[in-house]
Amino acid sequence: EDQVTQSPEALRLQEGESSSLNCSYTVSGLRGLFWYRQDPGKGPEFLFTLYSAGEEKEKERLKATLTKKESFLHITAPKPEDSATYLCAVQGIMDTGRRALTFGSGTRLQVQP
Amino acid sequence: DVKVTQSSRYLVKRTGEKVFLECVQDMDHENMFWYRQDPGLGLRLIYFSYDVKMKEKGDIPEGYSVSREKKERFSLILESASTNQTSMYLCASSLGLFNEKLFFGSGTQLSVL
């Protein structure tokens, strides 16, 4: 059974204070690891897909990295508008028939001005 | 712009009522999903469909059923609502077998009293 654990549950940063969110996963053959952003009252919005260890993706102040056991979402010099819940999800090779992702419970990020 | 629309933002129902949650996507996507989101538990898959009139159980299908009569519409049915079905319900769609990107609706917050 695929499992995804995210830490910390909540993180409060000052504007400009860089940090990282962690996503640890267990999957029988990784097809892809996904990061989503969810604003209050809205559905999750896609950020990145990572496929293999060593891969990195960047978007504005966000950079996602992947190892064989975990992924990090690095936030550089965050701004208040980066405040959101960040969700990590995996799809295992055995899941492709299911076509569904297994999600973690998310990290709630608050960036204070 | 791509869109997944859920019919209601908030719903309040009584125990034992039959509840219909509707979801429509305008992207001609093959795959559609219903997740529920609860604090600390993340998103959990209820049902999914990869074609018209096709449906597959997810991780927590008990107490739910679904209908997909047209490609763009996927309905979640609570046959007899119970208080433990109070939750945020999220509909999503994606294209293809290896759904690279899920598109989510804004969610329906259901309260069962």
Q: What is the 3-state secondary structure (H, E, C) of chain A?
A: CCEEEEECCEEEEECCCCEEEEEEEECCCEEEEEEEEECCCCCCEEEEEECCCCCEEEECCEEEEECCCEEEEEECCCCHHHCEEEEEEEEEHHHCCCCCCEECCCEEEEEEC
First to last CA, chain A: 41
Least CB–CB distance from B104: residue in A44, A96, A100? A44
The average pLDDT across A20-32 equals: 93
Give CA–CA dist A71/B100, Å, rounded: 17
Angstroms from A92 CA to nearest CA on chain B? 10
**What tokens appear for B35 in the block?**
């997740």
Q: Which of A80, A111, A83 has its CA nearest to residue A14?
A: A111
Angstroms from B14 CA to nearest CA on chain A? 23
Q: Is the pLDDT of residue B27 over 70?
A: yes
DSSP B14: -
Confidence category of residue A71, pLDDT binned at 50, 70, 90: very high
Q: Is the pLDDT of residue B81 over 80?
A: yes
Give CA–CA dist B104/A42, Å, rounded: 9
- Residue window 40-99, chain B: list those with CB within 8 Å of chain A: 40-45, 48, 50, 56, 58, 90, 92, 94, 97-99
Q: Is the pLDDT of residue B1 over 80?
A: no
Query: Tokens 């600390």, residue?
Result: B40
| Record: contact A44-B45, CB cut-off 8 A | no
- Whether residue A107 contacts residue A86, with contact meaning beta carbons closer than 8 Å, is answered with yes
Confidence category of residue A2, pLDDT binned at 50, 70, 90: confident
Q: Which chain A residue's Cα is nearest to B103? A: A45
| Record: contact B45-A100, CB cut-off 8 A | yes
